[in-house]
Chains A and B, each alone.
Chain A
């Protein structure tokens, strides 16, 4: 599903240049649930953003579902993000003047899906994250855990090939964190490919594979026995 080879990325800050990713090689198969771990500043988000086509690498190859991602114009990139990728952010990133349902329907709107169909589908996904009754509420009326569930519903609504989550539980207390991880595990159970960036051990162990990032390279890549989050909920 995902294949990257010798990926490099550095940030230029004035005359200085900060080499963040120094040759990353790894691949993810369909249906995997991968945790990307590492200390703060180790380049986890940078890697995820490149995988999500929000940012571009300096050198290296990236293939997503057999399609080489290279030299894309913004219009094309937008199409790929819309069709292939779903994002979940630490800070939820819901649009605050749109209701939960409108937020979920947004990626479908960009696919030019008719209004009615779009709303039905958005409701279906809200129902899956257990927030059907909250469809008409604004994000400001929801708790942190609910917001993240809306964000997950939104990410899944376009039925992406890969779900990318950058510290999805970073802003939540441990109980709500486990609820969110439970949801992510269920989505993975249905065969979806998911990458979760985290620096929390317990969250990482709820995935099936842990990739450890340090000083811009992968220092460890191991399969783990998945801890079911439902045990804690």
Chain B
């Protein structure tokens, strides 16, 4: 099938009219180029938006309390309440398939600027009282020292893990950090670790300027008693937090005597649902890219088919001669199909190559000019390239099918008679 004579003939036929061949090839080239660029642009947008999620475990919800809006069991409406530390165990007992339940408290942010002092340097940062598990839900890289552990919690150690942003603010470049003390709202904490978060969007700066201290220490130092500011809850891999969140919220309503129909009293944010919404949006965008790309490609394919028909017509007599000499009709058909596939693949490869260069160029410009909001690293995966090649081979076959059929439809004697 792939012998030298066949290839020679394919090249002879395709190069016999260069201009026409190139024009035809351009249709396929253009189609695949559009497809690749659309897919890459979609990927760039997807990467950009997903970067906003950072490394956060996406199967996660956040939950906090608000005022009640309904009177219930003798309690008035408009009542404020707080989650308590025992609620964590209560949720764990009532709702299965939860992986992490992290109670959290916070200073700074929406509850006013935390004031951190070291010597003559000061800064305002978000201070979190946390359990060690939080590092699984809000991942960070420990760049020196260590993160929180359970002994810190049990012994209410006055220690802190600070972000690289904090370190840059409060320390000179060559200063040792570990073992030094910082003063958070008048309370001294020893720095035992530093971290860095991976995130390239606008919030990246913010993410590096946080301080983590043990939950128990935080509660005691800043007089939170047993209160929990909010919780980060992650489900097991097999189950989605979206399907569990109702059980979780309901268990809290029962525990805190909130009216079952009071939808305002417990606030939450379902990261997983949000993420899925984005996922399905990109699914739809991918579909549109394929749809448009393949339509454009289709017009290229029709062009190839058209030219192959003309080629077959021009070669009717030759085909007649070859059949008189005893060429199998199948062999003629194969020849036409291979010409068509060859033309499609060569022009398609050119399109893929050109598209790859284009994407490479865009990436280079993006790298040179710094990150753009919501657009990051446009690219096509190997899978897409393989799919594109498969599409090309199939298209080439389809394009060649009708011409090949028409080539052997003519009886040899009629083919010989044509001039």
Residues in chain A within 8 A of chain B (CB atoms): 49, 52, 54-55, 74-75, 78-83, 85, 87, 89, 93-95, 97, 106-107, 109-111, 115, 154, 158
Please, how many angstroms separate the alpha-carbon atoms of A64 and B329 in the complex? 22
Once the chains bind, are B328 and A110 in contact (CB under 8 Å)? yes
Once the chains bind, are A82 and B329 in contact (CB under 8 Å)? no
Please, how many angstroms separate the alpha-carbon atoms of A147 and B76 in the complex? 111
Min CB–CB distance A103 → chain B (angstroms): 9
Interface stretch (choices B80-88, B255-263, B377-385, B407-415): B407-415
Would you list which residues of chain B between 295 and 338 have a CB under 8 Å from chain A?
A: 317-318, 321-331
Q: Give every chain A residue within 8 A of B16 (Cβ-Cβ).
A: 97
Q: Give every chain B residue within 8 A of A79 (Cβ-Cβ).
A: 326, 328
Once the chains bind, are A87 and B324 in contact (CB under 8 Å)? yes
Would you list which residues of chain B between 398 and 417 have a CB under 8 Å from chain A?
A: 408, 411-413, 416
B5 lies within 8 A of chain A by Cβ: yes
Q: Give every chain A residue within 8 A of B412 (Cβ-Cβ).
A: 54
Nearest to A93 among chain B residues (CB) is B321
Nearest to A55 among chain B residues (CB) is B413
Once the chains bind, are A54 and B4 in contact (CB under 8 Å)? no
Contact partner of B12 among A80, A87, A97, CB < 8 A? A97
Once the chains bind, are B324 and A115 in contact (CB under 8 Å)? no
Q: Give every chain B residue within 8 A of A94 (Cβ-Cβ).
A: 321
Contact partner of B416 among A54, A74, A95, CB < 8 A? A54
Q: Give every chain A residue within 8 A of B331 (Cβ-Cβ).
A: 110
Min CB–CB distance A9 → chain B (angstroms): 11
Once the chains bind, are A81 and B413 in contact (CB under 8 Å)? no
Contact partner of A75 among B3, B325, B330, B411, CB < 8 A? B330
Please, how many angstroms separate the alpha-carbon atoms of A97 and B408 in the complex? 21
Once the chains bind, are A107 and B326 in contact (CB under 8 Å)? yes
Among B4, B12, B326, residue most surrounded by chain A Cβ atoms (within 10 Å): B326
Q: List 10 A-B contacts (CB under 8 A).
A: A54-B412, A55-B413, A75-B329, A78-B326, A80-B326, A85-B326, A93-B324, A93-B416, A110-B322, A110-B328
Nearest to B327 among chain A residues (CB) is A110
Total count of chain B residues near the partner, CB < 8 A: 23
Contact flag A110-B411 (CB < 8 Å), given A54-B416, A97-B16, A115-B5: no
Please, how many angstroms separate the alpha-carbon atoms of A80 and B413 in the complex? 15
Q: Give every chain B residue within 8 A of A95 (Cβ-Cβ).
A: 318, 321-322
Contact flag A75-B324 (CB < 8 Å), given A54-B412, A97-B12: no
Once the chains bind, are A106 and B330 in contact (CB under 8 Å)? no
Main SS at interface, chain A: helix
Residues in chain B within 8 A of chain A (CB atoms): 3-5, 12, 16, 317-318, 321-331, 408, 411-413, 416
Please, how many angstroms separate the alpha-carbon atoms of A95 and B321 in the complex? 8
Contact flag A110-B325 (CB < 8 Å), given A49-B413, A54-B416: yes
Please, how many angstroms separate the alpha-carbon atoms of A87 and B323 in the complex? 11
Please, how many angstroms separate the alpha-carbon atoms of A74 and B408 in the complex? 9
Once the chains bind, are A74 and B325 in contact (CB under 8 Å)? no
Min CB–CB distance B35 → chain A (angstroms): 35
Contact flag A109-B5 (CB < 8 Å), given A75-B328, A75-B329: yes
Closest A-B pairs by Cβ, 9 of them? A82-B326, A54-B413, A81-B326, A55-B413, A107-B325, A93-B321, A74-B329, A110-B327, A110-B326
Since A110-B322, A154-B325 are in contact, a sample of 10 more A-B pairs with Cβ atoms closer than 8 Å, ordered by chain A residue number, is A54-B413, A55-B413, A75-B329, A81-B324, A93-B317, A94-B321, A106-B322, A106-B325, A109-B5, A110-B327
Nearest to A49 among chain B residues (CB) is B413
Once the chains bind, are B323 and A55 in contact (CB under 8 Å)? no
Min CB–CB distance A82 → chain B (angstroms): 2
Q: Give every chain A residue within 8 A of B330 (Cβ-Cβ).
A: 75
Contact flag A52-B321 (CB < 8 Å), given A74-B329, A110-B331: no
Once the chains bind, are B324 and A52 in contact (CB under 8 Å)? yes
Please, how many angstroms separate the alpha-carbon atoms of A158 and B328 in the complex? 15
Nearest to A105 among chain B residues (CB) is B5
Contact flag A115-B328 (CB < 8 Å), given A49-B413, A95-B318, A97-B16: no
Once the chains bind, are A78 and B328 in contact (CB under 8 Å)? yes
Please, how many angstroms separate the alpha-carbon atoms of A204 and B413 in the complex? 25
Among A74, A115, A154, residue most surrounded by chain B Cβ atoms (within 10 Å): A74
Please, how many angstroms separate the alpha-carbon atoms of A56 and B16 in the complex? 35
Min CB–CB distance A131 → chain B (angstroms): 18
Please, how many angstroms separate the alpha-carbon atoms of A74 and B326 in the complex? 10
Q: Give every chain B residue within 8 A of A85 (Cβ-Cβ).
A: 326
Once the chains bind, are B408 and A78 in contact (CB under 8 Å)? no
Please, how many angstroms separate the alpha-carbon atoms of A208 and B389 in the complex? 63
Nearest to B326 among chain A residues (CB) is A82
Please, how many angstroms separate the alpha-carbon atoms of A195 and B321 in the complex? 19
Min CB–CB distance A168 → chain B (angstroms): 14
Once the chains bind, are A115 and B416 in contact (CB under 8 Å)? no
Please, how many angstroms separate the alpha-carbon atoms of A85 and B330 in the complex? 20
